[in-house]
Amino acid sequence: MKKDTETKRVQVTLPLELYQALQQQAQEELRSIPAQIRQILKANLGSQERH
């Protein structure tokens, strides 16, 4: 993440099975869990903008 961009910190509570699925995806894509969450958010927010 660029240091010159403004950021906000959020906290997310997930059911265990959703966390485990997220953890599995992150491991498969060689990402940390926070990086995987950012990737999912970017993909979903980008797809919403196209609709």
- Listed in sequence order, the residues at least 6 apart from 44 whose beta carbon sits closer than 8 Å to its beta carbon are none
Helix (H) or strand (E) holding 50: helix 33-50
Entry pTM: 0.74
E-strand stretches of the chain: none
What's the confidence (pLDDT) of residue 33? 96
What's the confidence (pLDDT) of residue 19? 97
What's the confidence (pLDDT) of residue 3? 67
The amino acid at 3:
K
What's the confidence (pLDDT) of residue 46? 82
For 1-51, write each residue's pLDDT tens digit: 556 788 899 999 999 999 999 999 999 999 999 999 999 999 998 877 666
Return d(Cα 51, Cα 39) in angstroms, integer: 19
| Residue 5 structure tokens | 């961009």
The amino acid at 42:
K
